[in-house]
Amino acid sequence: MSTEVVAEVVVRPIRDSDVEALGRVHATCWHETYDHLISSAAFEKLSPRRMAELWNHYAERGEEYAQFAALVDGEIVGFVGSGPARDENAPRERELYFIYLLDAYHGTGIGQKLFDAAVGTDPVYLWVASDNPRAHRFYTRNGFTADGADQHVPFLGEEIHEVRLVR
């Protein structure tokens, strides 16, 4: 957990001009979060450029989507996105799709600011890697519990086991 004092933190809606920075941060966060779950060979397929292309699609989403970036001293260090439920028979109308924060900023409160911007206190659900203890602790603090649903999802040519959490 970082005890470093973070200078100026700004959480704001994602802009089209953010896609390259988001691609870099997204690729780094995936390495930091999933290195213990996915082979190094699978990560060779991941590049900041490829992730930026993905963000070109995300940045075009409509008003029903809440997407925010966290910036420290003007640099993106994390991001979050939520929107309409994607699952059939979803337990809630809204879903938290993703929240990622560079490891260096864990424990600073920035993750909570991102989460609050995207979902606030609304009823929502999410999918999280079953072997991601830090994320599970964060979601438990925010009122989530497992509802028993799980799935295996493709990830860079391999699979990750996820569980569904609901609030």
DSSP letter (8 states) at residue 109: S
Task: Find where tokens 């953010």 sit.
Answer: 18
Domains, in order of start, for the chain: 9-166 (3.40.630.30)
Residue 5 has pLDDT above 70, yes or no: no
By CB neighbour count within 10 A (0-12 exposed, 13-18 middle, 19+ buried), where does 57 fall?
exposed
Higher pLDDT, 77 or 47: 77
DSSP letter (8 states) at residue 77: E
Q: What is the CA radius of gyration of the chain?
A: 15
pLDDT tens by residue, 96-141: 999 999 999 999 999 999 999 999 999 999 999 999 999 999 999 9
Residues 130 and 162 sit within 8 Å (Cβ to Cβ): yes
Alpha helices in 35-72 (DSSP H): 40-43, 48-59
Report pTM.
0.90
pLDDT tens by residue, 58-99: 766 667 899 999 999 999 999 999 999 999 999 999 999 999
